[in-house]
Structure 1
């Protein structure tokens, strides 16, 4: 392999989805053009400007005349080249490039081949050789002495019978190459190992990336498809992170892309602007009685036409409906539309602040209209029962607005006390059968303990409800005097105090 060149085999899975970008430097690479319709074998000369480099007899077939020699349809179009390889016999295709190659520039080559005897096909033989002058020897049918820059190295078992397969690779030019020779360069078939090879869609394109010049579109409804398709590229990366070879432009800005090939990495960018860059905004809903001002940029070279015929760059909305504008500037016309709806504002009333005393409970009953209600502390439901001091807030929301309200509950209207009876009668008559302690809304009991006259604990709990049924380990306690101790937390005016209280208790049966 010559220095400065690289090769690559590409199987049936193609790098490029469709035709290669850029100018194809191979004239008549798909064998569509002919001087005279070929009606027999050995007629490569009719596929102008292709020529035969040696004394062998390559073929050119075209659907303009059905010779029966085409065992499969062309890869594209209607024509194919056809080569034969045997001991002492090697056929080639030669053509002059449309223009010479430029030194140090990278080019991407590809062609499609197919055979009806893939078991005879010889890998590491078929290739393409680029040269500054034609490689010819009209005195022999033997292989031509050349070291191809593109060479098929794929195992022959990858080639299916009568299936088009791609041979492709990169060429870094030395400069001045203007001829290509395609054929067998390394091995001759063994005895009785001869085979035929169809060839189609031969191309050579410069490896470059061109998004085009900076451009200006009319308005936001105008779009532009950027195509960064690069011959042989296997990775694309746009400035927004997308990885496809194309990108749809829907707004002004700078767009850049990097394409990676095996021979080099390319980057290009362009700026897209909009001559009429405006928007009336998304469809919206506003409250009854409100107005909305629609506005587009004012220029001395633009004319305006609203749906009502007015011709200024602003319009005041006072009622529900669809509003549209058409702006003309030179040859550019842009338009936009917005739908405006009116609804009543939401309503919320939690009621007046409340001062409570002792163990009173209070139910907050909000008055709600025209929206979705929610408590700010995520409590579910609308009505809410409270038993302690605090500020309780809620809101009602709709597409028009959000309103909030709050109510203050204050248990400081009287002294906050802890209630505990001094006598109870656990005799099962349903009256005063348990000792039960409770406090005002700002008191939270945390534990209850009962002691006998000798100071022994006969009952203790830290769980609500804080009550004693007069039993100890399943047995009835004797009539007598006992003592209780209650530990609690008192929350008032934003402060929390931990304390305890004790008192006597008479158990009577």
Structure 2
């Protein structure tokens, strides 16, 4: 099978700190371990198990001894390697991996490089080569003429600044040797240069969110980390595109990770052993009660702040309430603050029947809250001159109350009639005190009072009239008072009303 190479321009975003990758297959990857502290040049063999693939003389330096050749700090740790390139002279680093690569599996390769002569550095020649057998040329210092799987594409590199070279490759299988060096170009005459090497990585590209997990309480969270070497895109089932996702509720979470080699997916299920919530802090009206409840579960115990051990607690006064719930090795705690305030009150007044150019000022009576008209009128008091139903509310954290007032200009032609004089003398003219009204007004009672306020006549049935007698005797000529109760229809409403006046009885 022909080897499939994947070439990458080195522009990957720096991977998150603290991410746990698969095992690095490169032993002594950052040149920390040595057999003997290197005190001279050309001592790569001291950085076991690194080896020199040809007759050239690669260097190994460590901070255990300062030779003066380590002209920049290691990328990490205390050691680094150095390669020299000249016409006809190519130095390489060789290492046997901890285990052979698996066929069809994707691997991420990475190293950090730096040079003190970037103007001489030959880009697109430094690389990492994987092979089933070690590259060796013990009789020559010439460049190896093989194609590395990962090649640098560095341009405009600064002097003595570490640069990352990385890439992804799909293994043919059984590759177990890694060779680092220059593969395509050699420097021209007098174009020699050095390259420092540190932190060499070969890791399998895996995606593992971990096993399905049960958390103790709803307050517990779990960070999911899908960071994958060489990944170019992340997509979680909630649409987020970061490498990490913090789980704060039960559910099934999945992620799709795109790499230049293949697309990886993984899923994890998160549950909560004690999945309860006392709710948000709340405000109640004076006199109200609320019952705080933790759903009952087997083998579970409860302890409230007052020492009670039931799964419910009735709250009747202001304060902070908390509960601890115990189940096996899990302990969950939740707290709620309860506040009490008076309820709001609103009175817009009685409905009004107006006529012609009359106006009316609605003066709301408001207590314990914020007042608003439903039609967004800005002021509290308002003068009205047209029919309508005017709604308003008063709101506070305890409750919201609403009231309305009906203003009607439909009563102009609808009047209540009561005569001011009548003559009950038996001549057939104006012998009774008769009251009546139009169709929108319905009289329900008529009462007649003498001058001492005594009710001398009352009726609740039509016709609403008085013949001028009291207990069968004719009443004397004088002034009397009348009171009429009636109902007036305003739109869809029927409003009870009362009117009164004086009448003169003449004989």
Provide the TM-score with structure 2 as the length reference: 0.79
- Structure-2 change in CA distance of 1:145 and 1:380 (3 Å): closer
Q: Shift of the alpha carbon at 1:61?
A: 0.3
**1:34 equivalent in alignment to 2:27:** no
Alignment of 1:378-457 (within 5 A): 378-415=376-413
Contact 1:15 1:232 in 2 (8 A): no
Instruction: Write out aligned runs for 1:448-467 (5 A).
Output: none
Distance 2:25 2:301 in 1: 49
Displacement of 1:407 after TM fit?
1.8
How far apart, in 2, do the equivalents of 1:35 and 1:327 lie? 57
Report the equivalent of 2:286: 288
Quick check: 1:259 aligned with 2:257? Answer: yes
CA 18–286 in structure 1, closer or farther in 2 if over 3 Å, else same: closer
Q: Which has the larger radius of gyration?
A: 2
Contact kept, 8 Å, 1:219 with 1:274, in 2: the verdict is yes
- Residue 45 of structure 1 aligns to a residue in which SS? helix
Report the counterpart of residue 92 of structure 1 in structure 2.
92
SS of residue matched to 1:342: strand
The structure-2 alpha-carbon separation of the partners of 1:408 and 1:153, relative to structure 1 and needing over 3 Å to count, comes to: closer
Q: Does 1:183 align with 2:181?
A: yes
- Aligned equivalents of 2:365, 2:371: Cα separation in 1: 10
Give the SS at the match of 1:84: strand
Counterparts of 1:18 and 1:324 in 2: how far apart (Å)?
A: 37
CA contact (8 A) 2:10 2:153 kept: no
By how many angstroms is 1:111 displaced?
Answer: 0.6
Aligned to 1:371: 369
3-state SS of 1:9 partner: coil
The alpha carbon displacement at 1:416 in A equals 8.1
Partner of residue 225, structure 1:
223
Alignment CA distance shift 1:9-1:389 (3 Å): closer
Partner secondary structure for residue 337 of structure 1: strand
Distance verdict in 2 for CA 1:393–1:76, change over 3 Å:
same
Partners of 1:213 and 1:194 lie apart in 2 by: 53
When residues 19 and 290 of structure 1 are mapped into structure 2, their CA distance, relative to the original with a 3 A threshold, is closer
CA distance in 2: counterparts of 1:289 and 1:61, whole angstroms: 80
1:393-414 CA-partner distances (Å, limit 9, x unpaired): 2211111111111222233333
Aligned equivalents of 1:23 and 1:300: distance in 2?
42
Q: Which SS does the other structure have where 2:349 is aligned?
A: coil
Deviation at 1:389, TM superposition (A): 2.7
Q: Please list every run of 5 or more consecutive structure 2 residues that lacks an aligned counterpart in the other structure.
A: 416-489, 493-507
- 2: distance between equivalents of 1:184 and 1:408? 93
TM-score, length basis structure 1: 0.79
- Do the aligned residues in 2 keep the contact of 1:30 with 1:200 (CA within 8 Å)? yes
Shift of 1:181: 0.8
Three-state SS of the structure 2 residue aligned to 1:120 is: coil
Q: After superposition, what is the alpha-carbon deviation per residue over 1:368-420, rounded to whole angstroms, capped at 9, x for unaligned?
A: 11111122222221222222333222211111111111222233333189xxx
Q: Is the 8 A contact 1:7 1:168 kept in 2?
A: no
Please report the RMSD computed on the Cα atoms of aligned residues, expressed in angstroms: 1.8
Residue 56 in structure 1 maps to residue 53 in structure 2: no
User: In 2 relative to 1, CA 217–196 (structure 1 residues): closer, same or farther, beyond 3 Å?
Assistant: same
Q: Which residue of 2 aligns with 1:466?
A: none
Residues 346-361 of structure 1 correspond to what in structure 2 (within 5 A)? 346-361=344-359
State how far apart, in whole Å, the 2-side matches of 1:271 and 1:212 are. Answer: 10
Q: Any idea what the Cα deviations from partners look like across 1:214-271, whole Å, max 9, x if unmatched?
A: 1001102212111111101122222222222112122211222222222222222211
Assess, with a 3 A threshold, how the Cα gap between structure 1 residues 413 and 145 changes in structure 2: closer, same or farther: closer
Instruction: Quote the residue 1:503 is aligned against.
Output: none
Q: Which residue of 269, 272, 281 maps to 1:271?
A: 269
Aligned pairs, how many? 416
Corresponding residue for residue 15 of structure 2? 16
- Tell me the secondary structure at the aligned position of residue 45 of structure 2: helix
Name the CA distance, whole Å, in 1 between partners of 2:261 and 2:62: 35
CA distance in structure 2 between the aligned counterparts of 1:361 and 1:145, rounded to whole angstroms: 102
